[in-house]
Amino acid sequence: MKKILTLVFVSVLGGIITLSTYKLLLEKEASVAVETSAEQPFFVPTNYKSTNTNLVSAAEHPSFVNAANKTVDAVVHVKNTALVSAPMTLQDLFYGRQQSKRAQIGTGSGVIISPDGYIITNNHVITGSESISITLNDNKIYDAELIGSDEKTDIALLKVEADYDLPFITFGDSDAAQIGEWVLAVGNPFNLTSTVTAGIISAKARDLSGRNSQSFIQTDAAVNPGNSGGALVNANGELVGINTAITSQTGSYIGYSFAVPSNIARKVVEDIIEFGNVQNGILGVSLLNTNSKEAIEKGLNEINGVYVADVTEKSGAEKAGIKTGDIIKKIDNIEISKFSDLSGYLKTKRPSDVVNVEIIRDDEVKTLPVELSKTDILTVNFMNMELKNLSDQRKLERDISYGVEVIRNNNDWLSENLGISSKYIITDINNIKIKSIEDISALKQKYGSNAEQYIKKIGLINKDGEREQYVIR
């Protein structure tokens, strides 16, 4: 009996020791393992501010509601109806029928710029029109009159007569527009009513012609067929451009669109209203193409500005003291880094306007006031040829002290029969020595628009430097 009690006691004691050991050691380690959790990542704001980066204020996003409300009703749909010759069929030829005419419809957009109904659009939208109509955003339709147009800037001016004041867009300053600035394109793509797209100004003074004759605003706002002639406006709803072209292999928008700057468009329509045509102010300098072999050899590809290669005789530039070799840096505080910067700004000016030209000469900065010249002082159109005075360099090349140079010949008869083309020099007409285009202007005034029937003899120097005399019968 005593042995049994001893065994029971030992067993109980062993159980107590085992349970105590489990509670004190094993169960504590298990609870620690359960409470351990994976370490959470620690986020640090990149701007090192203590604010909550997940909260973005609505004010940080640009809102175009106000600009859209100001502009959509002032952008119109433009319909151009033109009569074109239908292709001749075999039946037409067999029965001796004359070539028939058919109506061809073209569409685009336009921008109302005054309450009395003046509308800007693109020249290519209304080219060849027999009739023009515009449709307002409220679907009212009006016949439009073509007041005038300018092919070089691709701007046309229309007028409608409404019985109430029309909504219109005010002009902004396109020179003040900045790369990266938000803009809206408002137009009628795909014959829809006014449509708004948004983007930024990607570049300024873009030239698409390769002749340094254009100065477009480039934007990435979506522009599609039908947007031509529509408005490019800033966040305040001010007109900064007239949408004109896109770069695309498909005919639809792929990311690049171009607008005529509003300062150019405004000057063109003001000239059309006041003078009936565009008044161009000429500086009177020829610039060296920075990509030319000569420019590369002279190291002029790396200059910040434009290099004056020649100065036209009797021009405002010559009178102001601008010389060959000068580098033009600014005009009226507008930075000039390429020719399209210069030509774009000058398109906003008229003859007799004075511009301040900042140049570098011999590492010295000078600012010269230049009075812009009239186009007919520097070039003149005669018998459908564009002529200009000979530069000193050309006189030396041809060993001649007088004559005028042909810039462009659009007279097919003179081209085909006499071979006259650009670079030809006209030395005399009807035995009258031609010293300058002032002599051409005198002949033009004497003979009027029918000069060709009075011209019987022309003296020339051809491209090879050979003298030629032609008698016209």
Catalytic residues: 124, 154, 228
Neighbours of 352 (CB within 10 A): 12
Do 247 and 254 touch, CB atoms closer than 8 A? Answer: yes
Do 102 and 86 touch, CB atoms closer than 8 A? Answer: yes
CA distance 200 to 185: 10
Tokens of 21: 């050991």
CA distance 329 to 304: 7
CA distance 159 to 178: 32
Judged by DSSP in three states, 72 sits in helix
Rg (alpha carbons) of the chain, rounded to whole number = 37
Do 291 and 317 touch, CB atoms closer than 8 A? Answer: no
Do 324 and 310 touch, CB atoms closer than 8 A? Answer: yes
CA distance 186 to 429: 53
CA distance 138 to 227: 18
Q: Which DSSP letter does residue 24 get?
A: I
Judged by DSSP in three states, 225 sits in coil
CA distance 329 to 107: 41
Neighbours of 97 (CB within 10 A): 11
Instruction: List C-alpha distances in Å: 189 to 76, 95, 411, 439.
Output: 11, 43, 39, 51
Neighbours of 438 (CB within 10 A): 14
For 360, phi then psi, to 5°, come to -115, 125
CA distance 253 to 40: 47
